[in-house]
Structure 1
């Protein structure tokens, strides 16, 4: 399978031009990219890390607390 045909958007994404990501399941890894910049860089993580991340997001057990950002 060609890598370009492997990319897909989440079923939670819509076509209104919002912030969407696409993923591609690769051998032992997952590619993640901006759906609006298909020729831009992609983040590639181990498949196990992606599975853990998705599981954490689905559980809702995420502390979204406020992070302080320095402007210096």
Structure 2
């Protein structure tokens, strides 16, 4: 995941609790990591599950 392009929310500020997300096309998944401590391994989530999660948040 060293080559992943991480995206951070525009709501992230220096002292907030936010996450970063990277699409991993080769694995058809999404990686999520803690913005404040990038040494913790990222959670890798199947792309379909991530899409369902986002759809649920919008409801």
TM over 0.5: yes
Please identify which structure carries the higher strand content: 2
Runs of 4+ in 1 over 2 A off after TM superposition: none
* CA RMSD, 1 decimal: 1.1
Instruction: Give the unaligned 5+ runs of structure 2.
Output: none
- Which structure would you say has the larger RCO, counting Cα contacts within 8 Å and 6 or more residues apart? 2
Structure with the greater alpha carbon radius of gyration? 1
- Under a length normalisation based on structure 2, what TM-score does the superposition of the two structures give? 0.82
For 1:40 and 1:25, how far apart are their aligned partners in 2? 18
